[in-house]
Amino acid sequence: MNNKALGFFGERPLPKFELAPHVLRRRTRRDVLLSGAGAVAALAGAGSLLPHDTLTRLGVRRNMNSSAKQWLLNRALRIDDDVAETLYSPRRTVPTYTKSQITPLKNNYNGATSGFHTIGRRNRLRGPIRCRVRPGLGRPA
Amino acid sequence: MGRSTTPVKEAISTSTLLEQPGVLVAKRHHLLVRWSHWLNVPIVLGLILSCISIYWSSPIYQHKPDPNTGNFDVAADIGIWICAHVPGLHRYNTPPDWIYNHMSLGPGMLALALRLHWLCTYAFMLNGTVYLVGLVMGGGWRGLLPRRTDLRDALRMFRYYIGFPLAKLTRRRWPHPSFNTKYNALQRAAYFSVPIAGFLSVATGWAIHKPMQFHSLAAIFGGFDAARVWHFWLMWVFILFVVPHVILVFADGWDTFRGMIVGWSARVERREVTANEQ
């Protein structure tokens, strides 16, 4: 059946060709080995991106925090910032709430988990910081 | 997944042709489709693990806080139940964290999980585009389109899968239904649905991530909270797809698995080619 008879959406028969058995074996071996090597590299690369605590739980004792890992994760954040900036519109403002609508913010298990408090913690900002200051809103404190 | 050509016994020439002068092979998957398929494995795994870690910080499914523990998270309840009933887990240190320790990056990792989730999200969108380009370039998209006979063919495949274990046990012949298409109806339904689920995951993800900028998108899914529910269950669509997908690929044999690596399949009938050539 030709393609015209099958129409635009009609499924075409799969293209077929003949190969010598040794060529087929060689190509299979090459592709499977390359894919295997790629899979190991991808597994190692993706695994190293996991947080330190997760890796420790999985039994990895080595410190996998590298500058390349931080660079990649920061790059994704930067792209995300750029997307947010591109989507910015002065006509849209964040919703505001009355004081009565405020509810206490608790982490999981009704705030029972420990070790995530911010009291006494000091954060340091590094790197270039871009911000837009709109007139009339005053200077940031 | 299950093969869609005539059963091996009936085939005139299959991979057993290795002894013969030439082996007939059919080109099945475009290079870009194969690449994006394998790249999806670490990307989707990263998305799922980080997704459940993000879920921990604000669970969708909650109940009134337990008076003793303060727990309101249903996923934590499941963890507690597992530790109480599964032998060997009675001494588990933090039963409420069992689900999060085994299905996510871990509890209390919101910031780290969000960073990884965004990295994987951008990679997922890029990879999805590569997949679509591969589908168009290789013409594989035509094989995924639903058709009128799908319901009947899907029932035939269901019957085959249901009867297969019993036929194996009783050593009875249980022939695979034959189709002259690349995929059978069940495969087609699965492979057609997964890209749609991927698109919806991205759309609901943006609705949650940028609810100000994409408030109209969030509204389509029923608002911010409903978009979270959609996003959560779309993750389960992926999990529920992957499990049988992997099992059936291994059950179907080396040719199917190899096909996604090398791009071609040796499960071709010479009779079919002769018919096409005439």
User: Which candidate from A53, A76, A109 shows the least CB-CB separation from B73?
Assistant: A109
Among left, alpha and beta (phi > 0; psi -120 to 50; other), residue B6 is beta
For residues B192 and A5, the model is more confident at B192
Kind and range of the H or E run holding A71: helix A67-87
pLDDT for residue B13 is more than 50: no
In a domain, B272, yes or no: yes
Nearest Cα to Cα of residue B242 among B61, B109, B47: B47
CB A20, CB B21: distance < 8 Å: yes
Taking CA atoms, what residue in B is nearest to A105? B58
pLDDT for residue B16 is more than 60: no
In a domain, B88, yes or no: no
In a domain, B152, yes or no: yes
Size of interface A-B (CB pairs under 8 A): 147
The mean pLDDT of chain A is: 79
Residues of chain A found within 8 Å of residue B105, distances taken between Cβ atoms: 50-51, 53-54
In a domain, B48, yes or no: no
Q: Would you place residue B227 in the very low, low, confident or very high pLDDT band (cuts 50, 70, 90)?
A: very high
Q: Which of residues 47-106 of A touch B (CB under 8 A)?
A: 49-51, 53-54, 57, 72-73, 76-77, 79-80, 83-84, 87-89, 92, 94
Nearest Cα to Cα of residue A19 among B73, B1, B21: B21
In a domain, B255, yes or no: yes
Measure the CA–CA gap between B165 and B160, rounded to whole angstroms: 9
Look at A5-14, B27-36, B208-217 and tell me which has the smallest mean pLDDT.
A5-14
Q: Which of residues 146-175 of B touch A (CB under 8 A)?
A: none
CA distances (Å), A77 to each of A30, B75, B118, B245, in order? Answer: 38, 29, 7, 33
Nearest Cα to Cα of residue B116 among A105, A51, A7: A51
CA distance A137 to chain B (A): 20
The mean pLDDT of chain B is: 87
Look at A58-72, B79-93, B205-219 and tell me which has the smallest mean pLDDT.
A58-72
Yes or no, beta carbons of A73 and B116 under 8 Å apart? yes
Q: Tell me the residue range of the domain where B266 lies.
A: 8-30+139-277
Task: Indicate the length of chain A as a whole number.
Answer: 141
pLDDT for residue B128 is more than 90: yes
Q: Would you place residue B72 in the very low, low, confident or very high pLDDT band (cuts 50, 70, 90)?
A: confident
The number of C-alpha atoms within 13 Å of B78 and in the hemisphere containing its C-beta is: 10
Number of separate domains in chain B:
1
Residues of chain A found within 8 Å of residue B127, distances taken between Cβ atoms: none
Residues of chain A found within 8 Å of residue B21, distances taken between Cβ atoms: 20
Q: The complex's ipTM?
A: 0.73
Yes or no, beta carbons of B108 and A17 under 8 Å apart? no
Taking CA atoms, what residue in B is nearest to A95? B212
Residues of chain B found within 8 Å of residue A46, distances taken between Cβ atoms: 42, 45-46
